[in-house]
Amino acid sequence: MAADEYHRPTKVAVIGAGNVGATFAYALLQSGLASEIVLIDANHARAEGEAMDLNHAAPLARPARVWAGDYPDVAGAAVTVVTAGSAQRPGETRLDLTTRNVEIFKSIIPRVAEHNPSGIILIATNPVDILSYAAWKLSGLPKERVFGSGTVLDTARFRYLLSQYFKVDPRSVHAYIIGEHGDSEVPVWSLANIAGMRLPVYCAQNDMGCAEEDLEDIFRRTRDAAYHIIERKGATYYAIASGLLRIVEAILRDQSTVMSVSSYIQNYYDIEDVYLSLPTIIDAGGVERILRLELAPEEIIGLRNSANVLRQLIHDLKL
């Protein structure tokens, strides 16, 4: 590695300075992972205001160059995080957002790819699976370098709720939500474990009830969490910003971290040509490998159903 490459500042671009984008930028500033953060928004004044506010935090946090820019400023960014798009409205599903957000992406993604053809594009905008597929098609970049936040947030919610039920640290709960980031998502009960013990064994060995209806309620609360949060405060942004930061950390530090991101799936339980979430190794190159899970029969059925829901919507877009 040449000296100038070693000392090159680490830049992260954020497209969309709304609640999710601004919260992610704040988390990124606090983390110290990036030395340059550029905010791009259709409302340039909003991006300027967020950049000013973030810069005022720099003396109290980790100094970095933060500014409001335009698409040429994504050049050289290791990762471009896309949060721009129409927000989910109360009572609306993520899939209802499809048509209008794909149109927005048609004006964003080709410009990102034009100015930064060697970077990674990370999609957070909903419906994230469909928009990740659209971003891949619109960008012309390799599929390994275009992926979405997927069910990273759902998995975090699932682990948290399980931790509350089992009264352990959520970091000690190992469980995944796979498939669509949305109503057809699938809990992988068969592989969920604490301390290496599958949940039925953990319950039996530790004299816990683990009633099936309780576990089903945990999944329902996981799946429907966004609706309840949006009903109460209008949007979700803290947890997804934390999820995005964790993904970006895995990329910038080449950590080979396993996360349930949304990426291109082929030849996986007969699922082809769709973006959905499965445990995936993320490193400096983006998607390194999608892990093959030994799923229970009902989980395979659920995953295939989730893929069919997404594939039909993708087909209708005629990308």
pLDDT in tens, 220-241: 999 999 999 999 998 899 999 9
Please give the average per-residue pLDDT across 129-141, as a whole number.
97
The pLDDT confidence band at residue 316, using thresholds 50, 70 and 90, is: confident
pLDDT confidence of 190, banded at 50, 70, 90?
Answer: very high
Q: Tell me, what's the pLDDT at 99?
A: 85
Residue 48 CA to residue 150 CA, distance in Å, equals 29
- Give the burial string for 44-55 (b: 16+ CB within 10 Å, else e): eebbbbbbeebb
Nearest to 256 by CA among 277, 285, 292: 285
Per-residue pLDDT for 273 more than 60? yes
Q: How far apart are CA 83 and CA 87, in angstroms?
A: 10
Q: Is the peptide bond before 9 cis (omega within 30 degrees of 0)?
A: no
Closest by Cα among 95, 289, 269 to 185: 95
Radius of gyration of the chain (CA): 19
Cα pseudo-dihedral 309, 311, 312, 317, rounded to 10:
130
Q: Which two tokens stand for residue 176?
A: 């995944």
Mean pLDDT of 96-100: 82
CA distances from 167 to 157, 161, 172, 286 (A): 15, 10, 10, 35
- Among the ranges given (4-13, 151-160, 304-313), the one the predictor scored with the smallest mean pLDDT: 4-13
pLDDT at 5 over 60: no
Cβ proximity of 197 and 191 under 8 Å: no
Residue 3, pLDDT score? 43
Between CA 271 and CA 249 the distance in angstroms is 29
Selected catalytic residue, list 7, 44, 56, 181: 181
Mean of the pLDDT values across residues 160-177?
97
Q: What is the per-residue pLDDT across 10-68, written as a single tens digit (0 to 9) for each?
A: 999 999 999 999 999 999 999 999 999 999 999 999 999 999 999 999 899 888 999 99
| Degrees to nearest 5, angle at CA 220 with 218 and 225 | 95
Which regions of 16-152 does DSSP assign to beta strands (E)? 36-40, 65-68, 79-82, 120-123, 146-148
The answer to whether residue 208 scores a pLDDT higher than 90 is: no
Q: Is the dihedral of CA 36, 41, 45, 49 positive or negative?
A: negative
Q: Which residue has the tokens 């953990």?
A: 202
Region for 21 from its dihedrals, namely left if φ exceeds 0, alpha if ψ lies in -120 to 50, beta otherwise: alpha
As a whole-number percent, the residues of the chain with pLDDT over 70 amount to: 96
Exposure of 290 by Cβ count < 10 A (0-12 exposed, 13-18 middle, 19+ buried)? middle
Residue with token string 């950390």: 249
Averaged over 70-76, what is the pLDDT? 98
- pLDDT category of residue 4 using cuts at 50, 70 and 90: very low
For CA atoms 185, 191, 196, 199, the dihedral sign is: positive
- By C-alpha distance, which of 86, 74, 95 is closest to 125? 86
The answer to whether 153 and 181 are in contact (CB under 8 A) is yes
pTM for the full predicted model: 0.94
Residues of the chain with pLDDT > 90, as a percent, come to 86
Mean per-residue pLDDT over the chain, rounded: 94
Residue 92 predicted with pLDDT over 90 = no
pLDDT score, position 94: 60
Checking if the pLDDT of 199 tops 70, the result is yes
Residue 56 falls in the annotated catalytic set: no
In order of 15, 262, 301, the CA distances from 157 in angstroms are 25, 17, 23
| Residue 179, number of CB atoms within 10 A of its CB | 31
